[in-house]
Structure 1
């Protein structure tokens, strides 16, 4: 199997709190990998470790055959990312914000127009970012991740704050990206109905532990064998997390 991102027993501790606990994930090249979990499960922390924003307490990971931390700079050159709320300069236009990223990455000027067009912000490109709606700011953040069409995208809640039409549009964009320019997408979202429509593989985290990794069909088989509801991804996700929470509670009572 051709994996472009792998982690091995990746762990992050903050004093006595374990945010990410010995997770080993495997993301296939050219796939869309849905990273799911309740608030505080460790999704954002894992993504930040992959971007070198947070250093692991232990464990390791490779991205496109490059090893962290030895190849940290080379890894970052291959990744476009949107983590939590997008950052921007309020007194600059959308175009000017993207042009800063373009210059840092040493990309051609056409990369800005390309990114604006991908997220349908072209007509608002010369408006100050502080006058953007919340949804438009989110689009600007996604455009920043897409600029230069990197081979790997890491997107944390990319449809946050978008209206239904915007969610539909960004979902279709993300779904098209692997075929559009041969990229791999790691995406987290609480909108499980959207994730179900676009992902090839799923990873489910709870309390920093990886409960499941595999395709939707494999998840369905696992939930059927456990006697859980399998109507949709949300039901399967909640059943798995609830079972884990119950097991943890029973273990703590012993």
Structure 2
């Protein structure tokens, strides 16, 4: 399947760009030669099964783990030369949210608020955005899994950063919570003038919010481009354009089969 790179026009400049980004752990390649292109002001859906390399890629973008090779730029700033400046522009939610169990949700946010030098009002604003206003005074250890996910998202949203990197933000939420967070993510670029890179295991979920998508499997980018282009390719491949989930699963299955065949050879 052909790759279609988004965001090449001056009208939609790239705010995140990786070039041949690779991460190896001894004999295991977690991310393999990934080049991705995230347009400013867009929602970029990062897709792939468990272990595909999505979280590792996001950790590299945040400086939490160093690339083995390759390079990336965020908002025109090159890593690692501008690591601190990059982090000041990025709000993140990676895997399980971190918090102090014996502090309230509001107190957890206030710690981050003080570190970032934000006004006190930003805490209540973040709590309201994720639907935790009435639970801000509850100890974090008494939060449900879904509430902990919301608290992590509130941490990412503090100060309205221009770039948000969200790793499976709906994990642990019930259907109503998933719907609320999905609507929130969809509203962010217009409401906050920001860019969102959001990962998921399910294309059906990302399809409702994303402008562009990247599909990763075994650390390799299988597809990058717009959803409209993916629909066109679905039709050309004999799939119904309204059922992209089937095409997504077929792409993963085909790639896994090719890998097995190469391993035998």
Q: What is the TM-score when the length of structure 2 is the normalising length?
A: 0.94
> Deviation at 1:233?
2.7
Q: Secondary structure at the match of 1:84?
A: coil
Distance in 2 of aligned mates of 1:189 and 1:95:
27
Query: Which residue pairs with 2:192 in the alignment?
Result: 181
Instruction: Spell out, residue by residue over 1:11-59, the C-alpha distance to the aligned partner (whole angstroms, 9 max, x if none).
Output: 0000111000001000000000000011111000000000000100000
Q: Paired residue for 2:19, among 5, 8, 12?
A: 8
Q: Secondary structure at the match of 1:244?
A: helix
Query: Which residue pairs with 2:5 in the alignment?
Result: none
Distance in 2 of aligned mates of 1:78 and 1:110:
19
* More deviation, 216-225/146-155: 216-225
Distance in 2 of aligned mates of 1:252 and 1:192:
28
Q: Are residue 150 (structure 1) and residue 167 (structure 2) matched?
A: no
Q: Is the 8 A contact 1:135 1:163 kept in 2?
A: yes
Query: Which residue pairs with 1:45 in the alignment?
Result: 56
Distance in 1 of aligned mates of 2:189 and 2:125:
16
Q: Secondary structure at the match of 2:207?
A: helix
Q: Paired residue for 2:126, among 107, 115, 125?
A: 115
Query: Which residue pairs with 2:202 in the alignment?
Result: 191
Pairs within 5 Å for 1:1-254: 1=9, 2-228=13-239, 230-254=241-265
Q: Is the 8 A contact 1:31 1:185 kept in 2?
A: yes
Q: Secondary structure at the match of 1:89?
A: coil
> Deviation at 1:65?
0.2
Q: Secondary structure at the match of 1:55?
A: coil
Q: Is the 8 A contact 1:205 1:211 kept in 2?
A: yes
Q: Is the 8 A contact 1:229 1:239 kept in 2?
A: no
Q: Is the 8 A contact 2:234 2:244 kept in 1?
A: no
Distance in 2 of aligned mates of 1:35 and 1:123:
32
Extract unaligned runs of 5+ from structure 2: 1-8
Q: What is the TM-score when the length of structure 1 is the normalising length?
A: 0.97
Q: Secondary structure at the match of 2:38?
A: strand
Q: Secondary structure at the match of 2:224?
A: strand
Distance in 2 of aligned mates of 1:38 and 1:52:
23
Q: Secondary structure at the match of 1:97?
A: helix
> Deviation at 1:191?
3.4
Q: Secondary structure at the match of 1:108?
A: coil
What is the number of residues matched between the two proteins?
A: 254
> Deviation at 1:221?
2.0
Distance in 2 of aligned mates of 1:228 and 1:252:
29
> Deviation at 1:122?
0.7
